[in-house]
A and B are shown apart, each in its own frame.
Chain A
Amino acid sequence: MKYLALLLLFPTLSFASMFTDCGEYTVKGVVRVGPANFAIIVNEKTQSESIINFPITESQKLGAYMDRSITAVVLLDKAFNGTVGLSEKIVSVTSRIPDPLNPKDTGFILTKKVDCKKI
């Protein structure tokens, strides 16, 4: 199977300032199923929606959380412009109860920097 194409990193994009660093990110979003894999959608149905795809085998770890809000630690070690990206590794994933006072408390937090892999 072909992985979804990576978008090039354009430093002038507003998201680029969030994702100039490769590393482990704590991600809050929701798991959705696509034709080829399970993916994490962050800021779903907003202008800042981001989709993180995974290799089919790795994405199976998300199966239990289909259509549920989750907090996951994922490795983003390839250039990611904040819209569609590919992660090779899910470090951990747990259910998350969205904050009723702040249902949009989704997003990315860099927890550990790593060197970016050359594409």
Chain B
Amino acid sequence: MNIKALTLIIFSLTSTNILAANHMMIIGGGGEPACVEGATSGKNARPNCEKTIFDAPMQNLGANLKNGNWNYQVAYNGGHAQSEQILRTDFPNPTKTNSAFTPDRYNQMIADYTAKILAGEIKSGDHLVIIINTHGAEETPDSKTHLIAASGGAMTNFNTGKGSTLVNLDALAGLTKLASDMGINMGVVDLSCHSGKTMSLKKLAPNACIVTSTGPKHYGFSGPSTFGASLLKNFKAGETLESAFLKARINDRDPAYPMISTDENEQIVAEIYSKITPYLYYYDPEADKLTKFMNENSSDMIMCKREHDFKKLFSSINQLQAAANGKKTGFNGEELKRLLTSYKATQDQILQEANRLGAGLTTKKEIIVKKIGPYKTNVKNPPTEFKLELSWETILSSKPDEIIANISKMLNQTKDPYEKASTLAAIEAWKEVKIKKQQMVSTYPEILTAKATIESMTKQIGNNFDTAAKIAIQEKKFYDELYKEKQSLNFNDPCRKITF
């Protein structure tokens, strides 16, 4: 451990008010397959269905809580016998009876902790840490954080969260902000897939520490040897949330991108995350981000940016390596560069073909506007334009002639001048769509089958989890070295004030 890190830990521990109380809200275990009577093999058969992938990290946490002085509430799982046993044996002294992780219980716990803060039962200087140990979905436009799986229903789509009962981590915003404003040492630890989106809570609650098991665009992993299991195992006397995070991260071997809401991490993420993102993707038919990436990132502009980003990434690696020259434990980025170069070449073959086929253009939008009128109407401020906003994909799969024929029939169904005028405008708009479709197919003759072609090419890579995992192992060393280089002695960082 370097002197800087040691100094930070010692200062954090000696600064802690030994009379402060520690509170923990623990939720998770959702989205896992239930037992099906009669099943003899697979995830719905016993004993597989009696546990969840989140159990090992829970056991690590339970062991540490037994040795510490934490007041905790647990809403975990529901319907898995071995998981429920873990609650009984490893979390024997909750302040409220352990329960399943249902949406109602989730809302109740948030209300409960909010009430405790307002009543002064949890006060300035106390710790309040929320642990989220379950499946998580990708970001959606209507959430600042993201949705996670509660009990009830197994997740079948690990991107959208479909199949499981979902609750929104946005519901933690009020509690997190309140705790932050009241000077409580607030921590939110989200171990779910796509958990990097939970970092957005930091904007509302600058005095909170947020830790996530991965970035917003990547899966997280759970099990005995994962980041989450290590992190919760590191919640021991002598550690801060930051030191526990750094120790868990350097030892993580999965293609995830754990994050923490310190200034150092923010700088690294701004410099590196988007550039290394594609190389942590891998093909897996059951949980696939690589195919979508290939189909959506092959336009000329994105390909140009990709080359630029790759050079910048190498420049960052080289700079760090140069700074480490001569040091005993100097960082060596050669293996990382070698692995990145090799995987980029594999991806480039598919991206170049996707570019040639026009696959990346299918998300491009066309906006067609036609004036409505003239017409007589008594309606005040009637619309004057008919607007169609369609993606290339929608245009290519539409049948403009059929649509025009159907709309033309509608013309005869109305005598209202405005409706007639707007229907005529719609027909003109669709005639333009027809021309655009013809131009698209003429410029990119294979665009109609491009997506299927790229899916097939990506599938041929096979399950290359190992490729992404090897890059991830080197990335962890790179991040760790970068973090140490940037590490300040800012003792007031919230992640250094949460101690175990």
Contacts and interface: CB of A to CB of B under 8 A. Distances in A.
Nearest to B399: A66
Contacts of B402: 66
A2 to B, nearest CB: 9
Contacts of A57: 383, 386, 418-419, 422-423, 426
Interface of A: prevailing SS: mixed
A110 B78 CA distance: 27
A101 B416 contact: no
Contacts of B250: none
B419 to A, nearest CB: 5
B487 to A, nearest CB: 44
Interface in A26-61: 33, 35-38, 55-57, 60-61
B399 A1 contact: no
Nearest to B412: A35
Interface residues of B, number: 31
A26 to B, nearest CB: 10
A115 interface: no
B422 A64 contact: no
Contact of A60 (B393, B395, B397, B407): B407
A1 B403 contact: no
A95 interface: yes
B115 interface: no
Contact of B406 (A66, A95, A111): A66
A60 B409 CA distance: 13
Contact of B410 (A35, A66, A111): A35
Interface of B: prevailing SS: helix
A63 B430 contact: yes
A65 interface: yes
A36 B162 contact: no
A111 B395 CA distance: 28
Contacts of A38: 406
Contacts of B386: 57, 60
Given A36-B413, A57-B419, A57-B426, A64 B407 contact: no
Contacts of A56: 410, 413-414, 419, 422-423
A66 B423 CA distance: 16
A1 B419 contact: yes
Given A36-B410, A37-B410, A56-B423, A63 B416 contact: no
Interface of A: 1, 33, 35-38, 55-57, 60-61, 63-66, 68, 95, 99, 101, 111
Interface of B: 142, 156, 162, 383, 386, 388, 390, 393-395, 397-399, 402-403, 406-407, 409-410, 413-416, 418-419, 422-423, 426, 429-430, 433
7 contacts: A56-B410, A60-B407, A60-B423, A64-B388, A64-B395, A64-B403, A66-B406
